[in-house]
Amino acid sequence: MDKNVDFSSLSIREEVFELYEEMVQLRRDMHRVPELMFDLPFTREIILKYLKNLGLKIYEQVGKAGIVAVIENPGPCILLRADMDALNITERNEKEYQSIHTGNMHACGHDGHVTMLLIAAKVLSKMKLSGSVKFLFQPAEEGGHGAREMILDSGYPVLENPSVDSVYGIHLTNAVKMGNIVAAPQWASCSSDYFFIEIIGKGGHASAPFLTIDPISAGCQLVVTLQTIVSRNVDPKHQAVLSVTMFHSGEVFNAIPDDCKIRGTIRTFEPEVRALIEKRIHEICAGIESGFSCKVQLRFEHFYDPIENNEACANQCAATFKKISPQGTRGIVAPLIGEDFFYFTNARPGCFMMLGCGTDELDAPLHSPSFDFDERAMLIGASYWVQLTLDLLSP
């Protein structure tokens, strides 16, 4: 046991604690067989088998591969979400439960998310509630927009029937010590946009550059100038990241190429900052075009919006968490990660919370081939789900 985690100070709910072995088993079964995107046959089978034993109303193919289990009562309706998919990463951990799907790995903790929600569903299915709960198991969080697919599903649009009043999500993270959370009052994840730039010059012999329009010189200048956007245009009280992640041009020693391809990503929170950065990229590209007499083509792809928490919901989540971890701290600054839970918070008030699972031994970040988490963190998460539901829907 990590000496820095004082487990005795936590108030794990008794009904959850009794299911710890079952919890570990579920998580390890899923961890061994990580599946990607919408193709989740084994993971779905585990979830469906477990839910069917609870006698809940189940919708099986929502958003292609999503599953929703519903406890229905008169009163308000809340939605609790877990994502199911893994990543195309080769696991470096050598554990008894390591991935047997070579090349795939649960490196984002989604096996833990599913497990915590299953356990909560089991506990809550035996309780009296004054409202409805939708336990939502989502496919394709890792870049496949699975949340959007589930919301837009024509057979069972998950935010309707009954209409959902508020939405909640948990993400495990080793960046926060176990027993603590980040529950941001507003921005819970950043926007994630991509830019694609192509500089079209005029190639020629390397010995006669004056007869060419050199796209490499123009590209280098462009990359350097892009770096001034965050440092010189964005107000330092806002957070933003601009990273150039690809620069391809030329093939040989003795020729200046025709073109240069540059790609990168922008991360930020506020829509004004997002718009400012885009505007500056346009202006810089136009400046490079006239300054170097080349052509610059620019295209953006808006991949993820930021998750905007509702402040009252976030405060409720923090208050609930305090009951589970009275000495835990609440962080309010979200990490610069992208998450497709924004499809839910764009439609309904809610809160996406980072649940600390970090210990001295296990501190590899999300998406690392060495990522693993202390499974006792699932006791905290499942207790939190149960407590949150009771706090929101007590008879």
What is the footprint of Zn ion within residues 89-108 (CB under 5 A)?
108
Gap between the Cα atoms of 62 and 64, Å rounded: 5
**CA-wise closest residue to 181 among 9, 324, 22, 344:** 324
Output the CA torsion sign for 379, 76, 55, 159: negative
Determine the angle formed by the axes of helices 41-52 and 20-32, rounding to 10 degrees.
160
Task: Considering the complex, state which of residue 212 and residue 345 has its C-beta at the smaller distance from Zn ion.
Answer: 345
> Is 367 annotated as ligand-binding?
yes
Burial of residue 27 (CB within 10 Å: 0-12, 13-18, 19+) is buried
Question: Is 85 tagged catalytic?
Answer: yes
The pair of structure tokens assigned to 382 is: 């499942």
Catalytic residue among 35, 85, 259, 340: 85
> Is 171 annotated as ligand-binding?
yes
384, 105, 266, 245 alpha-carbon torsion, rounded to 10°: 160
* Residues 101-140, mask of contacts with Zn ion (x by CB under 5 A): -------x--------------------------------
Task: Report the residue number whose CB is nearest to Zn ion.
Answer: 108
Task: Considering the complex, state which of residue 144 and residue 179 has its C-beta at the smaller distance from Zn ion.
Answer: 144
Catalytic residue among 83, 141, 149, 270: 141
> Is 108 annotated as ligand-binding?
yes
Site size with Zn ion, rule: CB under 5 A? 1
Least distance in Å: CB of 269 to Zn ion?
Answer: 18
Query: 277 near 268, Cβ under 8 Å?
Result: yes
Task: Considering the complex, state which of residue 215 and residue 358 has its C-beta at the smaller distance from Zn ion.
Answer: 358
User: Using alpha carbons only, what angle is made at residue 81 by residues 53 and 6, rounded to the nearest 5 degrees?
Assistant: 90
Question: Is 111 tagged catalytic?
Answer: no
Least distance in Å: CB of 88 to Zn ion?
Answer: 11
Least distance in Å: CB of 395 to Zn ion?
Answer: 34
Least distance in Å: CB of 285 to Zn ion?
Answer: 31
What is the footprint of Zn ion within residues 376-395 (CB under 5 A)?
none
Gap between the Cα atoms of 370 and 364, Å rounded: 6
Per-residue DSSP letter, 252: S
Least distance in Å: CB of 271 to Zn ion?
Answer: 24
Residues marked as binding for Mn(2+)? Answer: 108, 110, 142, 171, 367
Binding site for Zn ion (CB under 5 A): 108
Which residue numbers are catalytic?
85, 141
